[in-house]
Amino acid sequence: MLLPTKTKVASHLAQYRAWERLLLAAPADHQVRAHFEDVAYTLCVLMGKRCGREAADAAERYLRPGVEHPPMAAPPLAATAVAVAACSGR
């Protein structure tokens, strides 16, 4: 199984958290929501999770010292897209 680099995961997790804060500050801003959902989707694909929150949690566990592989079981790509939309309220 190919594993994402910790650098890439850390970068995407930081983006996810930044857009999450912006979305919480402006929940009605459709452009912010779209960017957040794009970043959440990418993190889901990297971590093999179906929900942005689950992917962020998995990324944080993966980035802990001593962890050599992410906790994942990669879902089908189409299922990930549907789950991300459901997780984000679409």
- DSSP secondary structure of 13-36: HHHHHHHHHHHHH-TT-HHHHHHH
Residue 5 CB coordination number (10 Å): 9
pLDDT category, 3, cuts 50, 70, 90? confident
Count each helix (H run) and each strand (E run) in the chain, helices first. 4, 0
- Can you give the residue ranges of every domain in the chain? 6-87
- Answer whether residue 69 shows pLDDT above 80: no
Q: Write down the pTM of the prediction.
A: 0.73
pLDDT category, 66, cuts 50, 70, 90? confident
Contact 4, 46 (CB under 8 A): yes
Work out the angle at residue 21's Cα, subtended by the Cα atoms of residues 20 and 22, and round it to the nearest 5 degrees.
90
